[in-house]
Amino acid sequence: MSPSAQDILEWDLEGWKVVLEETGEVVGRVEEVLNLCSFWDPSVVEYCMLKVFDSNSPGIEYLIPWVEDIVKEVDCNAERIFIKPPEGLLELAKRPELLRKIRTALEEFGLHTEGQKEPHMPTRRQLQAAGEYELVEMIMDAGGFSSVAQDLRLRTKRRPVGYWEDLQNLDSEIEAFLAESWREEQNPETGKTYYVNLVTREQLAEKPASPSIMDPTPVSMDWSDTGTAVMPRAHILRKLGRFDLHNAITMHGGYKEVAQQLGRMHLGRREVTDLESEIRNFMREHNLSLFPKPSQLIAEKQEDLLAAVREHGGVVAVAKKMGLRAQRNGERMKMLCSACRVQIILK
């Protein structure tokens, strides 16, 4: 039977080895004995914990409760304390240090990828492709990719089961997506740089501050944003590959329904006047005298503008409303002319 907490007050345990009873493996050495005294009588120690450091793994400290179920034997001559810790007790102490090592290794690997402002957790496949098998093993030892990403406040593509069922999580993800949607542009006439949000179409002269959105504040928790924050459009999410967001929004009733529940402004169809203004600006920037072709809009990454044109009836219809001529597709016209000639000959 091991001594009581009161008994060990008379011993100087500093430097004693703490050993696993079953294997004889040395856990570490006692650095300090932490005493919890009685509320009624401070001279009576009710509970003790051993603060044990591992000399082989700097940074790791164990807290071992001095209770009979854990401390099994004390060898005063050899200055050894034999313990039988419950499953997971020692791992609790190792995890913070393991996470620190993982964080350092991930920073060396690179947490930022092209087009991402926020640090992202790389996938197992990415790490293995780079030969980082030891790092993958460390991550699995620390609880897996999702768990490590959450503890290190890193964004990850994979979400826990049931994650998207919570509207607050969906709200946070939308906010994060909007904050990552700024792109740098240059005015061809002045040469000045400006910044455009691909989702909201907002423009800023100054570079937007890098958002702190590992845990973004949902609009539903910030009354000042309600009604002014934007709901992204379906085709933008699909274009940028955010099918997870699109599917989650659909699961909760669709874009209008989710926008209403979250207090977000639903971006409907562009007004005709706004659309015409954007088309004319595009034509002016690219020295066009005819209405731009879909291929030209796509080449300049104006898929959103093309989608708006199609919503208003397509290229020919919008061009007609603006009093412009639509560009003809040369190859298509040749095929049509050839078909007409064939019909004439057959007749």
The CATH class of 7-86 is mainly beta
Question: In the prediction, which pLDDT does 82 show?
Answer: 92
The whole-angstrom separation of Cα 20 and Cα 342 is 93
Q: What pLDDT, in 10s, does the model give residues 10-54?
A: 577 888 899 998 888 888 888 888 776 655 666 665 667 778 887
The whole-angstrom separation of Cα 15 and Cα 53 is 10
The CA-atom distances, in angstroms, between 332 and each of 58, 297, 319, 329 are 72, 19, 19, 5
Under-70 pLDDT residues of the chain? 1-10, 36-47, 57-59, 93, 111-118, 156-158, 160, 209-228, 266-272, 303-304, 311, 313, 328-347
Copy the structure tokens of residue 96.
């913070």
Question: In the prediction, which pLDDT does 339 show?
Answer: 43
> How crowded is residue 279: how many other Cβ atoms within 10 Å of its Cβ?
22
Question: In the prediction, which pLDDT does 283 show?
Answer: 92
- For the chain, the structural domain boundaries read 7-86, 93-151, 163-266, 272-330
Copy the structure tokens of residue 10.
């008379």
Q: What pLDDT, in 10s, does the model give residues 194-247?
A: 888 877 777 788 877 654 444 444 454 444 444 457 888 887 887 777 778 888
The whole-angstrom separation of Cα 231 and Cα 242 is 14
Question: In the prediction, which pLDDT does 226 show?
Answer: 41
The whole-angstrom separation of Cα 57 and Cα 98 is 10
Question: In the prediction, which pLDDT does 39 show?
Answer: 58
User: DSSP E strands: which ranges in the chain?
Assistant: 17-20, 26-37, 45-53, 61-65, 71-75, 80-83, 182-186, 193-197, 203-204, 230-231, 265-266
The whole-angstrom separation of Cα 12 and Cα 307 is 77
Sign, Cα dihedral of 153, 155, 161, 167: positive
Phi, psi of 309 (to 5 degrees): -60, -45
Q: Which residues contact 211 (CB under 8 A, 6 or more apart)?
A: 117, 118, 176, 179, 180
Phi/psi class of residue 143: alpha, beta or left (left: φ > 0; alpha: ψ in -120 to 50)? Answer: left
